[in-house]
């Protein structure tokens, strides 16, 4: 299953205008995509605003996921009071009266016990009130996701850059997720752009060696008229332990290309070759958030956003 990643609608990967943002959403709906993810953090509300506008008269057709707790690069607030205000702000921007999947955004940036003791219970209260249907968490550091899953009731976990051609470490979390009957959302199948011909944005935190190796392999495939993004998507969606894979969308052309990847025959040979070529930089992950929440072996990021 492929879902629509809404961070590009907030201009996270370069500016797109409002008309193009709406065309992306409509192209996705027309193509049968019915899961949309956004956050108040993406473009300081712009992504939610654009998604809400584009979904007018389509709301009933889609599953809508947004987040709470992260509002800026270093602006986090997972208090009950802020979460209650946040949901109202999101409902307003998204032009709806309920959110399907409400997620605590990037939990590794704060101490985890208050996520367990205050944030998740507050989100459950909102569920009781009918404002949200399911409650989840998101983040990069698997250790942080694991801790919260083990100590609080969550319906979904969104992990990013941890299951694609450059990283499969999410596998270590899958038995727990399966045991607890949690819906697993795998974001960033293109490793936030590195596995595509456009490459990643300037703020991409991966170490330079990862970026350079990925760019070299993507360019090599281009020479043979092979689109690395299509191979990367095929690899990510193949794993049935994952409920939904979220790819960021910046144009209707990307919607078409990504669906074509899913419809094309799985190119096991090419995918295996590419994974071998990427082997020296596979499973390299960078630190994010509080040091105590980072996974063992995480390295210093090359940039911070
Ligand atoms: P991604 O790996 O999906 O890559 C997105 C980039 O690739 C964008 O620049 C996009 O325009 C481009 N792209 C998409 N299809 C392409 C194609 N066919 N050819 C060339 N380029 C293509 O990374 P992402 O957007 O970070 O992740 C997907 C979504 O997951 C996000 O938009 C967001 O909704 C969610 N997410 C959540 C978190 C979190 O909660 N902490 C973190 C990361 C991502």
Per-residue pLDDT of the chain (305 residues; tens, 9 = 90+): 899 999 999 999 999 999 999 999 999 999 999 999 999 999 999 999 999 999 999 999 999 999 999 999 999 999 999 999 999 999 999 999 999 999 999 999 999 999 999 999 999 999 999 999 999 999 999 999 999 999 999 999 999 999 999 999 999 999 999 999 999 999 999 999 999 999 999 999 999 999 999 999 999 999 999 999 999 999 999 999 999 999 999 999 999 999 999 999 999 999 999 999 999 999 999 999 999 999 999 999 996 54
Q: Is 4 in the pocket of ligand 1 (CB under 6 A)?
A: no
Q: Look at residue 240 and give its three-state secondary structure.
A: coil
The minimum-distance atom of ligand 1 relative to the CA of 261 is 18
Nearest-CA residue for ligand 1 atom 20 is 196
Q: How far apart are CA 86 and CA 90, in angstroms?
A: 6
Give the pLDDT of residue 304: 53
Give the pLDDT of residue 254: 97
Q: Are 170 and 137 in contact (CB under 8 A)?
A: no
Pocket test for ligand 1, best of 46, 188, 211 (most atoms within 8 A of CB): 188
Give the pLDDT of residue 98: 98
Catalytic residues: 42
Give the pLDDT of residue 1: 87
Ligand 1 geometric centre to CA of 240 (Å): 20
Nearest-CA residue for ligand 1 atom 42 is 160
Q: Are 187 and 160 in contact (CB under 8 A)?
A: yes
Q: Per-residue b/e over 179-200, b at no fewer than 16 CB within 10 Å?
A: eeebbbbbbbbbbbbbbbeeeb
State in Å, rounded, how far the first CA of the chain is from the last one. 29
Pocket test for ligand 1, best of 5, 164, 166 (most atoms within 8 A of CB): 5
**What pTM was computed for the model?**
0.97
178-182 long-range CB contacts below 8 Å, 24 or more apart? Answer: 178/241, 180/149, 182/149, 182/154, 182/155, 182/156, 182/157
The minimum-distance atom of ligand 1 relative to the CA of 103 is 40
Q: Is 43 in the pocket of ligand 1 (CB under 6 A)?
A: no
């Amino acid at each position: 299953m492929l879902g629509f990643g809404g961070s590009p609608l907030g201009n996270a990967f370069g500016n797109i205008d409002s008309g193009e943002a709406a065309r992306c959403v409509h192209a996705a709906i027309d193509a049968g995509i019915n899961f949309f993810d956004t956050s108040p953090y993406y473009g300081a509300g712009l992504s939610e605003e654009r998604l809400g506008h584009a979904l007018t008269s389509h709301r009933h057709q889609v599953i809508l996921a947004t987040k709470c707790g992260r509002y800026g690069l270093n602006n986090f607030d997972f208090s009950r009071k802020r979460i209650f205000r946040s949901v109202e702000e999101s409902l307003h921007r998204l032009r709806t009266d309920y959110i399907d999947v409400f997620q605590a955004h990037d939990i590794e940036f704060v101490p985890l016990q208050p996520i367990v003791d205050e944030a998740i219970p507050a989100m459950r209260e909102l569920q009781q009130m009918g404002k949200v249907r399911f409650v989840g968490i998101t983040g990069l550091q698997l250790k942080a996701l694991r801790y919260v899953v083990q100590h609080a009731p969550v319906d979904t976990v969104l992990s990013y850059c941890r299951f694609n051609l450059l990283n499969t470490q999410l596998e270590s979390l899958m038995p727990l997720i399966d045991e607890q009957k949690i819906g697993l959302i795998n974001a960033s199948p293109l490793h936030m752009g590195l596995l595509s011909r456009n490459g990643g944005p300037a703020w991409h935190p991966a170490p330079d060696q990862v970026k350079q190796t990925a760019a070299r392999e993507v360019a090599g495939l281009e020479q043979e008229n092979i689109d690395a993004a299509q191979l990367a998507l095929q690899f990510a969606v193949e794993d049935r332990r994952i409920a939904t894979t979220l790819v960021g969308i910046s144009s209707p052309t990307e919607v078409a290309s990504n669906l074509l990847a899913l419809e094309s025959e799985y190119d096991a040979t090419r995918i295996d070759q590419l994974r071998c070529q990427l082997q020296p930089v596979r499973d390299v992950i960078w630190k994010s958030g509080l040091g105590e929440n980072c996974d063992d072996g995480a390295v210093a990021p090359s940039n911070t956003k």
